[in-house]
Amino acid sequence: MGSWFHQNFVEPGKVPMLLALVSFVLTFLITRMITRLIRAGKGPFRNVRPGGMHIHHVVPGVVLMVIGGFGAVGSDRHGVGAAVCAVIFGMGAGLVLDEFALILHLDDVYWTEQGRRSVEVVVLAAALALLVLSGFSPLGVDSLSQEERQDRVSLLLSLGLSFVFVLIALSKGKLWMALVGTLVPPVAIVAALRLARPGSPWARRFYRRRHRARARMTLRAYHRDRRWSAPRRRVQDWIGGAPDDEPKRPATPTPPR
């Protein structure tokens, strides 16, 4: 176990990344536990309101991210300082992304339907960090052989092609698949080849006169949302708590006409 950890984390300099990920996840989970206790009126925890102003935990999160980020830039990946800065940065990131929806909407939407975005972003960020720790490099550089790395033309073509697939996936309204596709290129390729999401820039530009493609796109989106909407909401509620304005029954997508 010790030799495996040393070979896969210590030698490549991935210990700070691992520490940042662990502290990020733990900070998010502990923060959600505390906020749910505050919401239920249980335990000794209360909102911080100096002078009557509610201080959101995104504020200390930004401070910790700045300290940890600048400290990590100025330290060695194999030193103790890098490990400490990684933990500080991970804690700050957990606090900030837990209130991502507040930053996005510039409003206190923590316990509303819009607040689910924070949970989605945290899960995505943790998944991307796990992929990086697993050895995936951005835009598929990790899949190139040593000879191909030395060939700049092959490298640039591979990067450019992967980037094109990521852009197509984004234009088709597949944000999460595009982000994962920057680390795992086959995901971006699948997203780029499949039908676009309704309302996406790709659908508005290329499906305007393709009635059959537009009908298939709408029907596929309806069935997918109907299949995964309720399970996704249950997972989000289990992780982050149900919003205040959640209906008694999960909303059923409107069938296409």
Name the average pLDDT for the chain.
Answer: 83
Work out the average pLDDT over 216-229: 86
Tokens of 188: 């971006």
Give the start-to-end residue ranges of the domains of the chain.
Answer: 2-133, 141-240
Give the distance, in angstroms, between the CA of residue 220 and the centroid of all CA atoms in the same chain.
Answer: 24
pLDDT tens sequence across 157-182: 777 788 899 899 989 988 888 888 88
Residue 123 has pLDDT above 60, yes or no: yes
Lowest mean pLDDT among 23-27, 43-47, 131-135: 131-135
Encoded tokens for 208: 């305007």
pTM (2 decimals)? 0.72
pLDDT confidence bin for 32, thresholds 50/70/90: very high
Model confidence at 99: pLDDT above 80: yes
Per-residue pLDDT band at 254 (split at 50, 70, 90): low
Tokens of 77: 């990946």
Backbone angles phi, psi at 132, to 5 degrees: -65, -40
Question: CA distances (Å), 44 to each of 31, 39, 47, 52, 110, in order?
Answer: 14, 12, 10, 19, 20
pLDDT at position 250, please?
47
Q: Note the pLDDT of residue 248.
A: 46
